[in-house]
A and B are shown apart, each in its own frame.
Chain A
Amino acid sequence: MAASTTTTYIAASTRALAEEMARDPRVWALGEDLGRGGVFGQYEGLQERFGAARIADTPISEACIMGAAVGAALAGTRPVVEMRFSDFALCATDELVNQAAKARFMFGGQAKVPLVARQPVGMWRSSAAQHSQSLEAWYAHVPGLVVVAPATPADNLGLLKSAIRADDPVVYLEHKGLWPLEGAVPDGEHLTPIGVADVAREGRDLTLVTWSAMRWRCLEAARALAADGVEAEVIDLRTLWPWDRDRVLASVEKTGRLLVVHEAVTVGGFGAEIAAFVAEHLHARLEAPVRRLGAPRIPIAYAPPLENAARVTPDAIASAARAMTAPAAADAS
Chain B
Amino acid sequence: MSGLGETSPETSQKAGRPARNLDAARLVGHLETMWRIRAFEEAAIRGLKDGLVLGAIHPSIGQEAVATGVCLNLDRADLLLSTHRGHGHTLAKGADAGAMMRELFGRDGGTCGGKGGSMHIADFSVGMLGANGVVGANIPIAVGAAHAIRLRGGSEIVACLFGDGAINRGPFLEGLNWAKVFDLPVLFVCEDNTWSATTRTADLTAGAGAAARAESLGIPAETLDGNDALALDEAARAAVAALRAGSGPRLLHVKTYRLTGHTAADAAPYRDPAEVEAWREKDPIARLAAALADAGIPAERLEAARAGAYAEMEAIYDEARAAPWPPVAGAYADVQDVGHPAQRAF
Chain A interface residues toward B at CB < 8 A? 26, 28, 30, 53-54, 56, 58-59, 61, 63-64, 66-77, 79, 94-95, 98-99, 103-112, 143-146, 166-170, 194-195, 241-242, 245
Assembled-state Cα–Cα distance A105/B115 (Å) = 7
Whole-angstrom distance between the Cβ of A158 and the nearest chain B Cβ: 14
CA distance in complex: A58, B181 (Å): 9
Per-residue A-contact encoding for B328-346, CB less than 8 Å = 1, 0 else:
0000011111110101100
B interface with A by C-beta (< 8 Å): 79, 81, 110-116, 120, 122-125, 129-130, 132-134, 137, 139-152, 170-171, 174-175, 177-178, 181, 333-339, 341, 343-344
How many angstroms between the C-alpha atoms of A169 and B337 in the bound complex?
Answer: 10
Closest 4 CB pairs of A and B: A67-B140, A71-B144, A68-B144, A242-B339
A331 to B259 Cα, complex, angstroms = 73
B147 touches A66 (CB 8 A): no
A59 x B338 contact (CB < 8 A): no
**Contact status of A71 and B143, CB under 8 A, knowing A59-B174, A59-B177, A99-B137:** yes
Judge whether B116 and A71 touch: CB under 8 Å: no
Sample of 5 more A-B contacts, CB < 8 Å, known A28-B151, A64-B174, A74-B145: A63-B171, A64-B171, A105-B334, A110-B125, A241-B339
What B residues does A61 contact at CB under 8 A? 174, 177-178
Chain A residue numbers with a CB within 8 Å of B120 are 106-107
Q: Which residues of A contact B139 (CB under 8 A)?
A: 67
Smallest CB gap from A109: residue in B = B334
For B339, give the chain A residue with the smallest CB separation: A242
B112 to chain A: closest residue by CB: A108
Residues of A near B140 (CB, < 8 A) are: 63-64, 66-68, 70-71, 95
Complex partner residue of B170 from A63, A71, A242, CB under 8 angstroms: A63
Q: Which residues of the other chain, A, contact B116 by a CB distance below 8 angstroms?
A: 106-108
Q: How far is the CB of B102 from chain A (nearest CB, A)?
A: 11
> Least Cβ distance of B215 to chain A in Å?
19
Query: Bound complex: CA of A107 vs CA of B148, how far in Å?
Result: 20
B112 with A110: CB separation less than 8 A? yes
Indicate whether A109 sits within 8 Å of B333 (C-beta atoms), given known contacts A61-B178, A71-B145, A99-B137: yes
Residue of B133, B146, B181 touching A59 (CB-CB under 8 A): B181
Q: Are B134 and A107 in contact (CB under 8 A)?
A: no
Q: Which residues of A contact B142 (CB under 8 A)?
A: 71
A67 contact set on B, CB distance < 8 A? 137, 139-141, 143-144, 171, 174-175
A76 to B333, CA, bound (A): 21
- Residue contact A68 to B143, C-beta cutoff 8 Å: yes
A242 to B145, CA, bound (A): 29
B147 cross-chain contacts in A, Cβ below 8 A: 30, 56, 68, 71-72
A146 touches B137 (CB 8 A): no
A111 in contact with B129 (CB, 8 Å): yes
User: In the complex the two chains form, is A168's CB within 8 Å of B112's CB?
Assistant: no
Q: Which chain A residues lie closer than 8 Å to B115 at the CB level?
A: 105-108
Q: Which residues of A are found within 8 Å of B129, using beta-carbon distances? A: 71, 74-75, 111
Which residues of chain B are within 8 angstroms of A110 by Cβ–Cβ distance? 112, 122-125
Q: Which residue of B lies closest to A70 (CB)?
A: B141
Nearest chain-A residue to B121 (Cβ)?
A107
A278 shortest CB reach to chain B, Å: 13
Q: How far is the CA of A179 from the CA of B341 in the complex (A)?
A: 33
Q: Smallest CB-CB separation from B330: which chain A residue?
A: A108
- The answer to whether B181 and A107 touch across the interface, beta carbons within 8 angstroms, is no
Known: A63-B170, A71-B148. A104 touches B339 (CB 8 A): no
- Shortest distance from the beta carbon of A138 to any chain B beta carbon, whole Å: 16
Whether B178 pairs with A143 at a CB distance below 8 angstroms is no
Whole-angstrom CA separation of A169 from B132 in the bound complex: 18
